[in-house]
């Protein structure tokens, strides 16, 4: 894995001028925001990172974790990172891809064969190189990737073919690549943040949701479904970010310590998904809902349309495809 300490050199001069300090070693109470609830794997990883940073720094640094969108949605947290009002965040790549379209390449349908393959793609040099552009393009330091498994579809009504999704109000995480996928299917994409999803599915505000296996099981979305489409159609990367302004205020030693520890906990969560995804899917299958397995052929027309848009919008896609091929 590349060192993160070099990332400071990538912050533009303007950000340097605005930096909050001289880099002298000072104690710091960091705030880390994320949208997932307290028991979620991302939140557990964030808390474990904070605990380890506190002990590795001899109590000098602490991290207070703000789960469940307490500090705002991902777009708002991204803005706070840019201004330095927020120190750190674990965000879906969704939000990052809204600002840096190349990150949309990760959502190429069926780029990854399975969750372990998704992990290998995220650990590639091509993926890491994308992070090095974040200071200039988004004013944040990308420490490393994690993920939330692969995406599935939960539907209130029966679904036996992609055509059954046409015209359905289908909840998506708010970002462009997934919107383009469902629009290509003829569904009415309905962007909605995670905390609003359960009620929207339960009361029929949406007909279906795009979701991962962990949450379909843990948050019981299956309770309001006729059909669960086990489609594994996209990976769902997450990224650990530090405000570039805050990063500039840290000593080299603190940057190295924070970068190493955060990267380790992010990466460890990838292993957790690889270990647990199969069990979550088995549990969902055990609920007695109709299970329909879908593959790339099921979505073939929509995938063609998606590719036509994103091959141009995210030139790095061709390199990621090469990585995917090499890591099969
Ligand atoms: C979602 O928007 O579906 C989501 C966001 C964060 C973690 C897991 C799922």
Query: SS3 sequence, the chain?
Result: CCCCHHHHHHCCHHHHHCCCCCCCCCCEEEEEECCCCCCCHHHHHHHHHHHHHHHHCCCCEEEEEECCCCCCCHHHHHHHHHHCCCCEEEEEHHHHHHHCHHHHHHHCCCCCCCHHHHHHHHCCHHHHHHHCCHHHHHCEEEEEEEEEEEEEEEECCCCCCHHHHCCCEEEECCCHHHHHHHHHCCCEEEECCHHHHHHHHHCCCCCEEEEEHHHHHHCCHHHHCCEEEECCCCEEEEEEEEEHHHHHCCCHHHHHHHHHHHHHHHHHHHHHHHHHHHHHHHHHHCCCCEEEECCHHHHHHHHHHHHHHHHHHCCCHHHHHHHHHHCC
User: What's the average model confidence in pLDDT over 76-96?
Assistant: 96
Ligand 1: residue whose CA is nearest its atom 4: 194
Residue 252: what pLDDT?
97
Question: Options 3.40.50.720, 3.40.50.11900, 3.40.190.170, 3.20.20.70; which CATH number does 152-234+280-323 get?
Answer: 3.40.190.170
Does the pLDDT of residue 94 top 50, yes or no? yes
Ligand 1: residue whose CA is nearest its atom 5: 194
Question: Options 1.10.150.250, 3.40.190.170, 1.10.1660.10, 3.40.50.300; which CATH number does 4-103+115-148+236-278 get?
Answer: 3.40.190.170
Mutate to test the pocket of ligand 1, among 36, 67, 95 (most ligand atoms within 8 A of CB): 36
Asked, colleague to colleague, whether 4-103+115-148+236-278 and 152-234+280-323 share their fold, the answer is yes
Distance 194 CA to ligand 1 centre (A): 6
Does the pLDDT of residue 22 top 70, yes or no? no
pLDDT-derived band of residue 95, with 50, 70 and 90 as boundaries? confident
Which ligand 1 atom minimizes the distance to the CA of 173?
A: 2
Which ligand 1 atom minimizes the distance to the CA of 210?
A: 3
CA pair distance 208, 204, nearest whole angstrom: 9
Pocket of ligand 1 (CB under 6 A): 35-36, 92, 148, 173, 194, 211-212, 215
Give 228's strand partners: 154, 291
Does the pLDDT of residue 14 top 50, yes or no? no
pLDDT, tens digit, for every residue of 41-56?
Answer: 999 999 999 999 999 9
Give the lowest-confidence range in 23-27, 127-131, 279-283: 23-27
Give 90's strand partners: 240
Ligand 1: residue whose CA is nearest its atom 8: 148
Does the pLDDT of residue 311 top 90, yes or no? yes
User: What's the average model confidence in pLDDT over 14-41?
Assistant: 73
Residue 26: what pLDDT?
82
Which ligand 1 atom minimizes the distance to the CA of 211?
A: 3
pLDDT, tens digit, for every residue of 151-187?
Answer: 999 999 999 999 999 999 999 999 999 999 999 999 9
User: What's the average model confidence in pLDDT over 214-218?
Assistant: 96
What does the mean pLDDT of the chain come to? 93
pLDDT-derived band of residue 25, with 50, 70 and 90 as boundaries? low
Contact between residue 265 and residue 48 where contact means Cβ atoms under 8 Å apart: yes
Question: What are the extents of the domains in the chain?
Answer: 4-103+115-148+236-278, 152-234+280-323
pLDDT-derived band of residue 240, with 50, 70 and 90 as boundaries? very high
Does the pLDDT of residue 211 top 80, yes or no? yes
Report the half-sphere exposure of 256 (CA within 13 A, side-chain side). 4
Does the pLDDT of residue 109 top 60, yes or no? yes
């Amino acid at each position: 894995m590349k060192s993160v300490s070099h990332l400071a050199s990538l912050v533009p001069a303007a950000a340097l001028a605005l930096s909050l300090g001289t880099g002298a070693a000072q104690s710091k109470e960091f705030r880390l925001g994320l949208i997932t609830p307290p028991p979620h794997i991302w939140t557990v990883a964030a808390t474990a990172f904070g605990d380890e940073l506190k002990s590795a720094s001899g109590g000098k640094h602490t991290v207070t974790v703000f789960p469940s969108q307490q500090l705002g949605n991902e777009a708002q947290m991204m803005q706070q990172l840019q201004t330095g009002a927020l120190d750190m965040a674990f965000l879906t790549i969704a939000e990052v891809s809204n600002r840096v379209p190349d990150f949309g390449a990760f959502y190429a349908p069926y780029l990854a064969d399975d969750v372990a393959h998704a992990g290998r793609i995220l650990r590639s040099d091509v993926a890491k190189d994308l992070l090095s552009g974040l200071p200039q393009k988004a004013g944040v330091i990308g420490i490393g990737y994690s993920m939330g498994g692969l995406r599935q579809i939960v539907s209130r009504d029966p679904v036996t073919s992609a055509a059954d999704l046409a015209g359905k109000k289908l909840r998506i995480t708010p970002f462009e690549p997934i919107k383009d996928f469902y629009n290509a299917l003829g569904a009415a994409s309905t962007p909605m943040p995670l905390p609003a999803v359960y009620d929207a599915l339960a009361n029929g505000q949406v007909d279906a949701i795009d979701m991962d296996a962990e949450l379909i099981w843990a948050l019981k979305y299956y309770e309001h479904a006729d059909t669960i489409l086990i489609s594994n159609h996209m990976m769902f990367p997450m990224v650990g970010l530090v405000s570039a302004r805050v990063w500039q205020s840290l000593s080299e030693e603190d940057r190295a310590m924070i970068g190493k520890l955060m990267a380790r906990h992010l990466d460890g969560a990838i292993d957790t998904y690889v270990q647990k995804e199969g069990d979550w899917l088995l549990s969902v299958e055990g609920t007695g809902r109709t299970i329909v397995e879908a593959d790339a052929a099921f979505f073939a027309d929509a995938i063609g349309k998606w590719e036509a848009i994103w091959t141009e919008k995210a030139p790095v896609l061709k390199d990621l495809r090469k990585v995917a091929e090499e890591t099969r």
